[in-house]
Amino acid sequence: MKNDGLVPDLAHAPLPARKPSWLRMKRQGGTDYNDVKRLLRTSSLNTVCETANCPNRGECFNSRTATFLLLGDICTRHCTFCNIPGGRVAPIDPDEPQRVAEAVRELGLKFAVVTSVNRDDLPDGGAAHFASTIMQIRRLNPDCGVEVLIPDFLGDSVALETVLTAAPEVLNHNLETVPRLYRAMRPQADYRRSLQVLRRSRRWADASGADIRVKTGIMVGVGETRDEIVDLMKDAADQGIRIMTIGQYLQPSLRHHPVLRYVEPAEFDELADIGRGLGIDWVESGPMVRSSYHAREQSDSLGVGSQSPPIRGADG
């Protein structure tokens, strides 16, 4: 296919130098780490920590926390940055929300993070399963907060409202990368549709009086420019985003999109300052940052009932 300049020419892109010292994974193992892994296996639960090969899983498991992955470990999409395989998906497990809630109780979590694979094969994209999981966590763990990292549900506003009605403390939907790179990295997604998910979530929360913080995240080092990152952050701020994460992309395998640049820690600090200057309350920005990194601290820091930033931009 002819390269029209909208996506990186990966065949001729210079590879970055070897991984820098600030990107070393922490050692895995220890009593808590092994206890969490054992619990996940005996409960037949998936986590994005393991399935997506998150570099922070050693730190998180040793803190007795994990990001639960709903609806199986096979995705209906084929994003080139993600370690979760695409292919034939399994039927919905109706007992999974209960098992997640029981695992949250056994781990003693005060804040649980739940995400899913994309399930474009389902009429609601898995929204009812998310809502059931939130309700089961609350039933068994009434003092536990919940963050959900949701797919775009193909733009279905009813599916989105199903999740919002269950009132998670944080509604997260990642923009992932700048618009120009969607074709290369998220071929089945749409930047404008993802913005619409964020905008609708913020408006629904404001109209209903629900104290839901809307969050998004991106990865860098995949071929974006600084100006493109800033423009994306402006778009996020315009949707009323409260929390944003920015982290270094790490290539899961040789089959995946390559790392084109390792971003210096000082640049991450600069991006955090820019985001806060645009009105985003909390910007978690650093080489090892991922969507759920320090999720509880982010939510706790904003408090209950704090005012949301205004929404600007298009209707929808």
Whole-angstrom CA distances from 313 to 85, 196, 203 are: 35, 10, 12
Say how far apart CA 224 and CA 228 lie, in whole Å: 6
Find the mean pLDDT for residues 49-75: 74
CA angle, corner 289, sides to 38 and 30, nearest 5? 30
Whole-angstrom CA distances from 133 to 117, 164, 167, 197, 312 are: 15, 13, 11, 20, 32
Give the pLDDT confidence score for residue 52 in this predicted structure.
61
The closest alpha carbon to 221, from 57, 13, 5, 36, belongs to 13
Question: Which residue(s) pair with 114 in the sheet?
Answer: 68, 148
Whole-angstrom CA distances from 94 to 52, 84, 120, 198, 296 are: 23, 22, 18, 28, 27
Give the pLDDT confidence score for residue 25 in this predicted structure.
65
Lowest mean pLDDT among 35-39, 69-73, 276-280, 285-289: 35-39
Length of the chain: 316
pLDDT band for position 38 (cuts 50, 70, 90): confident
The closest alpha carbon to 12, from 263, 260, 262, 261, belongs to 260
pLDDT band for position 131 (cuts 50, 70, 90): very high
Q: At what angle do helices 157-165 and 127-140 cross, to 10 degrees?
A: 0
Delineate the domains of the chain, giving CATH numbers in brackets. Answer: 30-302 (3.20.20.70)
Say how far apart CA 31 and CA 54 lie, in whole Å: 20
* 46-47/67-70 β-pairing: antiparallel
Percentage helix, strand, coil, to 5, in the chain?
Answer: 40, 15, 45
3-state secondary structure of 191: helix
The closest alpha carbon to 248, from 218, 282, 273, belongs to 218
Read off the pTM: 0.88
Mean pLDDT score of the chain, rounded to an integer?
87
Q: What is the pLDDT of residues 76-109, one digit of tens each?
A: 999 999 989 888 998 999 999 999 999 999 988 8
Q: What is the pLDDT of residues 273-313, one digit of tens each?
A: 999 999 999 999 999 898 876 666 766 666 644 455 666 65
Give the pLDDT confidence score for residue 82 in this predicted structure.
92
* Cβ pair 212, 272 in contact under 8 A: no
Say how far apart CA 287 and CA 177 lie, in whole Å: 15
Give the pLDDT confidence score for residue 44 in this predicted structure.
84
H or E stretch covering 112: strand 111-116
* Cβ pair 224, 181 in contact under 8 A: yes
